[in-house]
Amino acid sequence: MRVETFEEEDGTVVLELAVADDDYGKVIGRGGRTANALRTVVKAAAVRERRRVLVDIVD
């Protein structure tokens, strides 16, 4: 897994998770539960910092 961070013009931080094809299903989880949980935790941390963060998972 590789994580790249970008900041958009409006101040939004984008975390791009590059995942190998073999691990893609594990990161997404059954019905997207793992990915949604990951996004929830990241957004909760971002709220404490008064930031907006998006998590994108790419293969």
Per-run averaged pLDDT (10 residues), the chain, 59 residues: 94 94 91 94 94 92
CATH (residue range 2-58): 3.30.300.20
Is the pTM higher than 0.85? The answer reads no
| Structural domain boundaries in the chain | 2-58
Report the alpha-carbon distance of residue 59 to residue 44 in Å, rounded: 25
What pLDDT sits at residue 59? 81
Report the alpha-carbon distance of residue 31 to residue 11 in Å, rounded: 30
Using alpha carbons, list the distances in angstroms from residue 47 to 12, 21, 44: 12, 31, 5
Transcribe 8-58 into DSSP letters: -TTS-EEEEEE--TTTHHHHH-GGGHHHHHHHHHHHHHHHHTT--EEEEEE
